[in-house]
Amino acid sequence: MTRRRTTSPATSTGSMKVARIYMRVSTDEQDLQRQEGIKDAARAAGYYVAGVYREKASGARADRPELLRMIDDLQPGEVVIAEKIDRISRLPLAEAERLVNSIQAKGAKLAVPGVIDLSELAADAEGVTKIVLESVQAMLLRLALQIARDDYEDRRERQRQGVELAKSAGKYAGRQADTGMHQRIEALRGSGHSITETARLAGCSESQVKRVWALRKRPA
């Protein structure tokens, strides 16, 4: 994973739009290259890119190291840019809303295709109009997050059905271990990195690090 973190004087002056870009794929076999164009598009739209955060982890997990690092880095007035809302979250709705709230609590907002941003209109409005705009914004965001979760669950169900069909046909060999990931984890832990550091550097969860390391230490 590669992360570039810089600080721009424009952040405090408000003279430039500042963005942090989050890119994610679910597995080590998938490629982040398709999402790299987001940086050029952001700059072409007039954003100063203060950070790019890349990781390979499931969007159904809330403990993604680079996502949490990005949220920690956020400054008021900045914008989080992602390819789609499901890059940010495939979590159940309540957890997804907590995640988005943690971004908004930093004074930042989302700029994601399919998510309409009414925050500027709401900021300039008053009274009932302001309440309506804020309510519509919240509803649209909630809908986008729920669609991302529903898509995740549909994919999981199709996968489960595929496994059942393969088992009934005697063709299911089980999930194959990611040997490349296992080797990285073993090398990082073996060189003295902590579980947390290993998970961040390998692009996986801490629980996966613990599982792989426990298997390695298990007597043959």
pLDDT (average), residues 136-141 = 77
Active site residue 26: yes
- The 8-class DSSP code of residue 36 comes to G
3 in helix, strand or coil? strand
Counting every residue written for the chain, the total comes to: 220
CB atoms within 10 A of CB 188: 20
Going by pLDDT thresholds of 50, 70 and 90, the confidence category of residue 8 is very low
Distance between CA atoms of residues 163 and 146, nearest Å: 26
The confidence score (pLDDT) of residue 152 equals: 79
The confidence score (pLDDT) of residue 6 equals: 45
Distance between CA atoms of residues 183 and 189, nearest Å: 10
Considering 8, 26, 119, 205, which one is annotated as catalytic? 26
The confidence score (pLDDT) of residue 74 equals: 96
Contacts of 145 (CB under 8 A, 6+ apart): 85, 89, 91, 93, 96, 97, 100
Strand partners, 22: 53
Distance between CA atoms of residues 108 and 101, nearest Å: 10
Instruction: Compute the mean pLDDT over every residue in the chain, rounded to the nearest whole number.
Output: 80
Cα→Cα distances 204→1, 55, 122, 146, 217, Å: 11, 8, 39, 25, 19
pLDDT (average), residues 51-60 = 92
116 in helix, strand or coil? coil
Q: Which residue has the tokens 């700059």?
A: 43
Spatial CA neighbour of 212 closest among 191, 183, 192: 183
pLDDT tens readout for residues 107-118: 998 988 867 665
CB 116 within 8 A of CB 138: no
